[in-house]
Amino acid sequence: MNLINKYYGIFIMNLLHDLKIELVSFFEKNNKDFSLKKYISSLSKPQKNHEINYLLERYINILRRQFSFQKPKNVFISKELQEKITNNILSKDICSTINKIKIELETGIDISSRLSKLIKKFDYDDKMLNDWNIYHFHLSDIDDIKSGFKKRTGELLFVYVPFNSDNVYFLDVSKGHKNKTTFCNLNLLDLINKNWSKLLVPFTLPDGMKPYPCSIKSSKEYLLLRKANINTILPLKNTNKYILSPGFGQTAAGTSTYNKIQTNKIIRTIQLLIKEKISPENIPVKLILKDNYIFIKNLKENNFLRKISII
């Protein structure tokens, strides 16, 4: 029995080593500033003990941030935003760009050039995305050839994308974003509730439950908590409802709680897969990382034992 456990342990180590190689290769290829030696030296002792977990968590973080939207989506527009478009409250250029983004999403065109320029940065965390699952898009149609992104604009389109969904929800357009409360504007959550209340049901506290002794009352208050990586219960305006963060919130280190949970889930899946699938007749195997999936390949039979979704 001990020999069998040792046997399984070796294969777990080999597959996780494959995963590390794949992750490092991705970062070296896609991040000019990434250096494995520099990265390892920057890790704390707990991180070094869980190096593969940390690398995988960073990979999930990048996948979510640069969500390519290369799969056709169903686009929904809030009543409030539609009124601004219909009544010419927004400029013609802004309205035209919003419509263009809608069409691009519906046809599966990559619109990542409208996202933040930091989307590929190894150690960057988008706190709004981590907290609420809300993306922001710049609304220029002018290409910045040097950076590969669209020109930056003061106006931003805020978009809610639920986990594991083909639906995209256009919430509102901000006039500018120099004020940091723009990215923790509680009105955005209210817009989700007003237009598509069912989306927040999984995050809503049971009737009668509320924060003690009181809840936050403004976006400025929430900004202070977010800066300190503190999660809290959120009130919905003009209701008696309170919700948890629809993006699962942040860890004390300022990283994504969802990414941490997903990382642990994937590592555990690989460990359990060994005991379920690996046997003398389907060895050797190799782990392959490709976009949003991890593949466990049987090299002898040239087929796949398992396909694991990352996000």
Q: Tokens standing for 23?
A: 């992750």
Question: What's the rounded mean pLDDT across residues 283-289?
Answer: 82
Between the two ends of the chain, the Cα-to-Cα distance in Å is 36
Read off the pLDDT of residues 155-198 as tens digits, 9 standing for 90 and up: 999 999 998 889 999 999 998 777 888 999 999 999 999 999 99
CA 260 – CA 266 distance, rounded (Å): 10
Sign for the pseudo-dihedral over CA of 162, 168, 171, 173: positive
List strands edge to edge, sheet with 134-138.
74-77, 167-174, 156-160, 134-138
pLDDT value of position 1: 46
Across 17-27, average pLDDT = 89
Q: What is the predicted pLDDT for the residue at 207?
A: 84
**Angstrom distance (rounded) from CA 137 to CA 146:** 19
Q: Tell me what pLDDT residue 128 has.
A: 94
Stronger pLDDT, 298 or 283, i.e. the higher one:
298
Query: Among residues 311, 199, 192, 296, which one has the least CA distance to residue 258?
Result: 311
